[in-house]
Chains A and B, each alone.
Chain A
């Protein structure tokens, strides 16, 4: 009960601050301007741009606002000594911390809901004015991975895990998928996406012709067609529903026509999708994950603010937020030094003897960096844009995993905050 009184109080304080309205206003302006940003010449680029702008720019703006508010709330109360008023009442310090967190979580939820409703309504509105081909991203697909993958005939060579096939029926790449129709549903359609590597001995070409076969695994029902495969661009094909619905299993074969052409393939280069129309549902799931991210940021900011003064607390929250996004970089930082020092395939002129100092530095910072990257929150887990941009249905397991991660991380943070805050004296 007391927690919610504090939460309500915190929320009320935050919404009476101007900074929130400034940032929200800016966010709304950006959302509205998003469809007019210049984009590359791709059919669904406009819608994609609106998604990217919302999740990258507008949400970043909101994170900034939420950090500014939540990292300074407790320090300002301690500085102004308004905290005396609360501490002299029968309120435990842990409840103050949790109340603050809940207050800012509510605030985040409110901001996210308002802005995302605006964003999604606007996307729908803009998209309805665009031709069908420009709305490709507004779908939610479930991904299926190939169950089996092999080369019929012989491959040319294998390097770095990629199998290369020479054209002219020398070898045929073969993927098989099954269990596609767990829940038979007429609304579901299927499509297959090829992301193969292409090389040609005929000099520089933009695309090569390949033969693609898609057929039912048991009855051989299906069709074979010649398609042109572009370099560095995935190819998406619709699958005849008949083919899938009989047995729920599909075999896909690919080989280049020209003897001088090569394709490089791996098991995960061909992916099959069942397509639903649930963009809104998918978007809602992305918003839930985004909210969890905000919650974690709030908890981290409040944790820092139980000990630090306002400016330091803001800085700390931003550093953690930044580090949480570049964990891979941090982990590899010592590796970078290494690489720089002993280039594996650099030209001999650049080859230098490893400096003893660098090796020493590397040795010293390696462990701390590893630990650092373990301690920092991993915000990569909260990346939902990668699903939305490819129109992939966010798996419920992903949400579950993110939820579990947030819960555990938050639990530890709240535990630490409560210990710090209990020991704190208010001068």
Chain B
């Protein structure tokens, strides 16, 4: 068994325009590996190529160049999809069906046996909190309710690899919290999770490793802890220091050939990293 759940090598996608001229480079030479059992966050501002990456992995788009593997198989392999769960960035579901019917349809596509299917559907509908609405057509669902049923369909096949594109969009705070708990539960079960988002709060306490994309180019990749601790940088957290003392400390450091990078008030650090990287470009 391959030790990588996702392996991407030099993946590039250039969208073509109507005349098939190459126009928009959405993803440039992306290479990364996601290990099994890992929760991996793919971060980036709007339009940085996160969704494009996922669509390439799932074979909805074909790469301009490069290759990718899912769970050790080339991602074009159909069979591998039975072990993958996918939640698209918006919920695209058949509006004429109700919650039960749509889960049943997807369950059948995974060739899950009738009895097993039925029990999974019951459990999932309960887990995502839609028990009272299970017979209602999806056309009457709210955005957040659709998101929940979308999540349920993504895991109906008990996947080894779960790909979530902005899972918390449209969810209330409780819903977002439940998603986080769910992701941690996946980790406990040994599943791999690929999480795409621009909401850092989603990522911070959940992901083992993250990558940050900007304009389709990979900027940083590493474990969250690693990224947050820069070995050659020292940060003092001080309280109740007068302005004069601050200047005195600064001049002392300068006399000793130290670089003062910044003096200010600390903030949420992952956000700093994110914003610094994006600003630099």
Contact = CB atoms under 8 A, between A and B. Distances in A.
Contacts, number: 65
Contacts of B62: 425
Interface in A11-57: 12-13, 16
Interface stretch (A79-87, A134-142, A177-185, A186-194): A79-87
Contact of A425 (B60, B82, B97): B60
Given A85-B92, A426-B55, A427-B15, 14 more contacts: A1-B111, A12-B97, A13-B94, A16-B96, A81-B88, A84-B92, A85-B93, A86-B109, A87-B59, A87-B60, A89-B110, A90-B79, A90-B109, A425-B61
Interface of A: 1-2, 5, 9, 12-13, 16, 80-82, 84-92, 425-427
B140 to A, nearest CB: 14
B105 interface: yes
Contacts of A87: 58-60
Interface string B50-80: 0000010011111000000000000000111
B92 A82 contact: yes
Contacts of B60: 84, 87-88, 425-426
Nearest to B156: A89
B192 interface: no
Category for how many chain B residues contact A: 20 to 34
Nearest to A14: B96
B83 to A, nearest CB: 9
A9 B109 CA distance: 11
Nearest to B150: A85
A13 B59 CA distance: 26
Task: Specify which of B55, B61, B157 lies most central, judged by the most chain A CB atoms within 10 Å of its CB.
Answer: B55
Contacts of A81: 88, 90, 92
Contacts of B61: 425-427
A298 B106 CA distance: 25
A426 B93 CA distance: 16
B81 interface: yes
B197 interface: no
B136 interface: no
B48 interface: no
B92 A89 contact: no
Nearest to A80: B92
B82 A90 contact: yes
A-B pairs with lowest CB-CB distance, top 4: A81-B92, A89-B109, A88-B86, A90-B81
Contacts of A426: 55, 60-61
B22 interface: no
15 contacts: A5-B108, A5-B109, A13-B94, A82-B92, A84-B58, A85-B153, A86-B109, A89-B81, A89-B82, A89-B157, A90-B82, A90-B111, A425-B60, A426-B61, A427-B15
